[in-house]
Every structure is written in C-alpha cells, then in structure tokens.
Amino acid sequence: MKIIAMIPARYGASRFPGKLMQDLGGKPVIVRTYEATKETNLFDEVYVVTDSEIIFKEIELSGGKAIMSKKQHDCGTDRIAEAVEDMDIDIVVNVQGDEPFISKEGLEQVLSVYKGADADKIDLASLMTEIHDWKEISDPNCVKVIVDKENFALYFSRSPIPYPRDKNTAIQYYKHKGIYAFRKQALMDFYKLPMRTLEAAEKIECIRYLEYGKNIKMAISNTQGIEIDTPEDLVRANKVLKEENNKKSTPNNKYRNFPMVPKVVFGQGCFDQLSSILEPNRKNNAPFIFIVDDVFKENKLFSDRINLRFNDKLLFVSTKEEPKTTHIDEIVKDIKTEFNLNPSGIIGIGGGSVLDIAKAVSIMLTNKGSSADYQGWDLVKNKAIYHVGIPTISGTGAEVSRTTVLSGPKIKLGINSDFTPFDQVVLDPDLTQGVPTNQWFFTGMDCFIHCVESLNGTFLNAFSQSYGEKAYDLCKEIFLDDKLNEEESRAKLMMASWHGGMSIAYSQVGIAHAMSYGMSYVLGTKHGIGNCIVFNHLEEYYPEGVVLFRKMIAKHQIKIPTAICKNLTEDQIETMIDVALGLVPLWENALGDDWDSIMTREKLRDMYLKM
C-alpha cells in the first residue's frame, strides 16, 4: 500500500494572514510542519501543495517537495485532489499546514483503521478527541462529532451533539480534528461534487462526504498539538520549541556566533577617505550606488565630497517615513533595471533609516523575492553585496547592528542575519553637525534606551554589559553634564551609539522597543519619538532609567507627545498589541520566560491607552 502525506498550504489565511510563513524558531511554520510530518516515517512521500510562490520556494529551498496548484480552490481537499489525480497511490493523508507539532501517534491512529476487519467499507478516516469542558462543547468554533458503535461518523456539528436533555446522563463528547486519510478513489469521487445544504449551513467540509453517502471511520487520539490560529498560538509554539531546543542544546550551539563590522574608520573629516576605501572594492563596470538622505540634497558642499566615478549613482531617499519593505523592493528593482550587473557596493549615508535601507538593498540584490520574505531571524540565504554605512546622526546603533528594521505588509520586524552588518563603517562626527535639537535628542535617546533595556534584561552577560555600561555613561555625560564642548559631544555620541548597538548584539532590547514597534506600525510614529513616548511610562520596569530620562527631557526642554493612543479604533489597538506581543525575544529579555503571564493583552492595552 502506498501512503503519502499532503499538506495543503494557502498563503492568505483569513484569521491570521501569512501565518504559515511566520517565524517559528528560525524556520517558517510550514517548513516545521513539513519536517515534523516527514520525521514520523509513516509516509512514502510528503508534499506541500500550495497556491503561493513564496511557500513553494521556501519548501524547495529547505529541501522538501512542493507542488503548485493549477487552479483556484475553495478548500484544501480540492487542492489535494488536483495534486494526486495522476499519482499512483492508495492512501493520502492531509496534514494541516498550521500544525507544526503534528504527532506521530495521531497519524498512526488515523492510518490504523485501514488495517481493521472493516477496512473495505472505509472511504476515509479521520480523528476525534474526547472533550469534557462544557465551554468547549458549546463553543461553535469547536466541531463536534457523533459516531455509531463501530466509530463510523454519523454527523458533525458546531452545536453540542447529542443534545443533553437529561442532564444526569453521562455523555462522552468528541471534538473533530481536521486530519483525514482518504482512499484515493474516494477523494477523486468527491472532487468537484457541489456543496449541499448541511455543509453550507454548518460550514464544515467533511459533512459533504456524509451527504454523498461516504463512510467516515473515526479514530480516537488524545494527544494535543498546537495549531497556529492566532499570534498568541505562535508565541506559545515558539516557547514549546525553545524548551525542546534547550533540552537538545549541545556545547557547540549554546552561544551565538555573530559577525561584527570588520572595518571601521573614525575621526573628524575621515569621510574624505571614502574614495580610497571604496576603490579596491570596485568591480569592472559595476557601479557604487550611494544612497543618501535627501536632507543633503541642497547641500552642494556635502555632495561635492561624494566622489562619483564611472557609472556610480547617487540616489537621494526621503526619510519622511521609516523604511518599508515595498520601498526596498522598488529600489532593488530600479537598480536591476538600470544596470545589468550587480553593483560593486551600496553606500548608505544618513540616519538609522538610510543605514537600514542600504543594508536591506544590499541583501535583496542577491536574494530573490520580496524583502518581506526575509523579515525575521536568519532567513537570508545568500551573502549580501559589499555595503558601507556612514551615519550622519547618532544613536540607533544601526551602523553596527545585525539587523535592518522594516515595516512589512504584516509586521514591523528586522531582517536579522549574518549578512546584514556592514562590511565597512565610516564614523565622522562632523557629519552630524546640523542635526536639529529635537531630532538629536530623540535619536540619542534611542541609544540610552537600548542600554537601559540591555542592562536590565535577562539576557545580559559580561559582553553586553561592558558595551552597555560604557554607552550608558557616555549618554549621561552628553545629555546631563555641562562639561563637553559640541565637538566632543558629537564624537562621544557617535561612540555611544556604537557601544549601544554592540550591547544589544548579544542581548536584546526590551519593553520600550516592543511597544514602540506596535505604535509605529499602526500610527507611523518614528522610532526615536515612539521610544520616548513609551519609555516615559515605564517607571515600573526601568525605574532608574526613567528618572534620568526625565531629567534629560527637562534639561533640553523637549516636549514628548501625549495622548496619541486616545482616539484609536478597537482594530488599531488590537493590531498594536499583536505587533508588540509578536516580538517574543524582546519580552523574554525584559521579563523572563514567563513574560506572557506578566504582560497580558489587557495590561498592554491599559498601558497603550495611557500614552
């Protein structure tokens, strides 16, 4: 008997869009499901069948087998039927793409029915689980099933079935689990049959089999997996995986091995060394592309210092909005259209926004698809092209970090990878002359907040601490003492930014960043201001840091916006909470492993509504 598993995978799930591509411990959910299914060793073949090129490529890249469906389908079963039509197989099991912890036991149970004496009568098999809680029994999202004495399904419903008229009779209720093992013939018979009224009323696909007289044998399985239906499920799943990995961790993978910027030049006026730094990296006919903040557009003195040669290109970008994945994709497309060779290098000149754009563009010139596909940890496959970062405002640490923060279609999240850091950084404090006071403060506070979050985090080690403490002290000197002249202050802030960035390389940021990401995603609030708005309300978590922060605000007479969350719609606030809670490592760093029992949705909502 040839038995295969098929995992139908739609990109746009209605309740949690893009959920199959969400990051689960460094791999997308769908890849986890595929690998878990394969590891059961119950199947001759395992396939993902999908309408999405992103999912198709992801599975192929991870060494799995994927099939593109040719047609639009209303349901996963039709998608499977199309895929197996010409395959020589006996039984096909459908595994839900959002069940990365699928258990071998459950799959064994559903297949075992084909070994029984009544096997010939069975068209398809499925699973059910005992349920006892009346809340679950009466929940319409939980599909109940009733069976005859041989465990053939009689009916599926969202209502409690049977109805318990006599409250004293003990009734065993069963919940249906969406795993099926079809005989190929039953599946092909069923394919294309129109939906009938019972199915339409209950919106339960398997009722159709009953309406057309098929025999569904139910097996009982009481193992609980985790289905990824909501962002909270994803958080839970990440936790489970982390616990499993901790058990498996060996001396060879316990500590992160991350790259640092290999070359850096520092000093007033060192910007003029740029040409001599770049030239050895020039490839024949391949230009350098200078991506520069458009605040410098009218500054002839400055642009004259950028020495364009051959077909080099100067590209001014606006930082009115923070970088978006769509913006990165556009720049990459334009570069590819204009030049038939990949550039010799990308040079980003500006604040955190431009540095992040430069990093992301250099990655996307050698990696296929959209930059949104790579938001997450270690999803980048190919080495980026040579890229150079030149900050013109200090604080973010983007010049030294392993990430490039982007707002994507679903989330604000960095492309965090070994290929992200710059190959070269030029630190010239003179370039930060002319930054307006407010902006100087907000970006500088990004550095201060990085340090507070890193130094108070549970991930802290001596490595992070030594960088964090230095940056923290520099910030106090710059923003609270009166001893520095402007030149010294600029140079020191540049180094504070660098150290602050290094401090989080081995640790993480925390609550202010998680919440400000949510705010920025929904309201477009800029990173520096968003951090300040949030941080001002975090005395419960960072008491000492918040006291110093308020002194700094007072000293420099900075106005922090208030009441910006007051008039949000329910949807907006929910999204804000989703984005913030999705940033699991930040919360873990801030509050430890049990963070989600401390930072509940309600608590987060209360905090946002005060801001």
Instruction: By CB under 6 A, name the binding residues for ligand NAD.
Output: 293, 295, 319, 322-323, 350-354, 356, 392-393, 395-398, 401, 403-405, 431-432, 434-435, 439, 443, 446, 527-528
Q: How far is the CB of 599 from ligand NAD (least distance, A)?
A: 22
The nearer residue to ligand NAD, 123 or 293, going by C-beta atoms, is 293
Q: Which stretch binds Zn ion (CB under 5 A): 137-145, 209-217, 356-364, 440-448?
A: 440-448
Give how many residues touch Zn ion by CB under 5 A: 1
Is 359 in contact with 422 (CB distance < 8 Å)? yes
**6: which strand partners?**
47, 94
The nearer residue to ligand NAD, 95 or 576, going by C-beta atoms, is 576
Q: Which stretch binds Zn ion (CB under 5 A): 214-222, 441-449, 537-545, 582-590?
A: 441-449
The nearer residue to Zn ion, 227 or 446, going by C-beta atoms, is 446
350 binds, among Zn ion, ligand NAD, none (CB under 5 to 8 A by kind): ligand NAD
356 binds, among Zn ion, ligand NAD, none (CB under 5 to 8 A by kind): ligand NAD
Q: How far is the CB of 525 from ligand NAD (least distance, A)?
A: 11
Phi-psi region of 25 (alpha: psi -120 to 50; beta: other; left: phi over 0): left
Q: How far is the CB of 231 from Zn ion (least distance, A)?
A: 22
Q: How far is CA 478 from the centre of its chain?
A: 35
Q: What 3-state DSSP class applies to 454?
A: helix
Q: Please provide the DSSP assignment of 57-108 as one string.
A: HHHHHTT--EEE-SS--SSHHHHHHHHHTT---SEEEE--TT-TT--HHHHH
Q: How far is CA 596 from the centre of its chain?
A: 18
Rg (CA), the chain: 28
295 binds, among ligand NAD, Zn ion, none (CB under 5 to 8 A by kind): ligand NAD
Type and span of the H or E element at 550: helix 543-556
The nearer residue to ligand NAD, 397 or 545, going by C-beta atoms, is 397
In whole angstroms, give the CA distance from residue 526 to residue 534.
Answer: 12
Q: Which stretch binds Zn ion (CB under 5 A): 163-171, 342-350, 445-453, 592-600?
A: 445-453
CA 309 → CA 47, 278, 314, 450, distances in Å? 51, 11, 11, 38
The nearer residue to Zn ion, 258 or 310, going by C-beta atoms, is 258
215 binds, among Zn ion, ligand NAD, none (CB under 5 to 8 A by kind): none
Is 577 in contact with 565 (CB distance < 8 Å)? no
319 binds, among ligand NAD, Zn ion, none (CB under 5 to 8 A by kind): ligand NAD
The nearer residue to Zn ion, 157 or 503, going by C-beta atoms, is 503
611 binds, among ligand NAD, Zn ion, none (CB under 5 to 8 A by kind): none
Is 493 in contact with 432 (CB distance < 8 Å)? yes
Q: Does 205 bind Zn ion (CB under 5 A)?
A: no
Q: How far is the CB of 294 from ligand NAD (least distance, A)?
A: 7
In whole angstroms, give the CA distance from residue 83 to residue 281.
Answer: 49
CA 427 → CA 41, 98, 270, distances in Å? 55, 46, 7
Q: How far is the CB of 77 from ligand NAD (least distance, A)?
A: 43
Q: Which of 468, 458, 452, 454 is nearest to 552 (CA)?
A: 452
CA 37 → CA 182, 296, 597, distances in Å? 17, 54, 31
Q: How far is the CB of 577 from ligand NAD (least distance, A)?
A: 19
106 binds, among Zn ion, ligand NAD, none (CB under 5 to 8 A by kind): none
Sign of the four-CA dihedral 333, 335, 338, 341: negative
Q: How far is the CB of 396 from Zn ion (least distance, A)?
A: 6
Is 468 in contact with 451 (CB distance < 8 Å)? yes
Q: Please provide the DSSP assignment of 464-513 as one string.
A: HHHHHHHHHHHHHHHHH-S---HHHHHHHHHHHHHHHHHHHHSS---HHH
Considering only residues 541 to 560 of the shown chain, the ones binding Zn ion according to CB under 5 A are none
Q: How far is CA 384 from the centre of its chain?
A: 20
Q: What 3-state DSSP class applies to 325?
A: helix
Q: Does 78 bind Zn ion (CB under 5 A)?
A: no
404 binds, among Zn ion, ligand NAD, none (CB under 5 to 8 A by kind): ligand NAD
The nearer residue to Zn ion, 173 or 535, going by C-beta atoms, is 535
Q: How far is the CB of 321 from ligand NAD (least distance, A)?
A: 9
Q: How far is the CB of 378 from ligand NAD (least distance, A)?
A: 16
Q: What 3-state DSSP class applies to 438?
A: helix
435 binds, among Zn ion, ligand NAD, none (CB under 5 to 8 A by kind): ligand NAD
Q: What 3-state DSSP class applies to 403?
A: coil
Q: Phi then psi for 408, rounded to 5 degrees? A: -110, -175
The nearer residue to ligand NAD, 253 or 437, going by C-beta atoms, is 437
Binding Zn ion (rule: CB under 5 A), the pick from 99, 446, 578, 588 is 446
The nearer residue to ligand NAD, 59 or 390, going by C-beta atoms, is 390
Q: How far is CA 413 from the centre of its chain?
A: 6
The nearer residue to Zn ion, 147 or 495, going by C-beta atoms, is 495
The nearer residue to ligand NAD, 295 or 512, going by C-beta atoms, is 295
397 binds, among Zn ion, ligand NAD, none (CB under 5 to 8 A by kind): ligand NAD
The nearer residue to ligand NAD, 76 or 350, going by C-beta atoms, is 350
In whole angstroms, give the CA distance from residue 181 to residue 187.
Answer: 10
Is 479 in contact with 556 (CB distance < 8 Å)? yes
Q: Which stretches of the chain bind Zn ion, using CB under 5 A?
A: 446
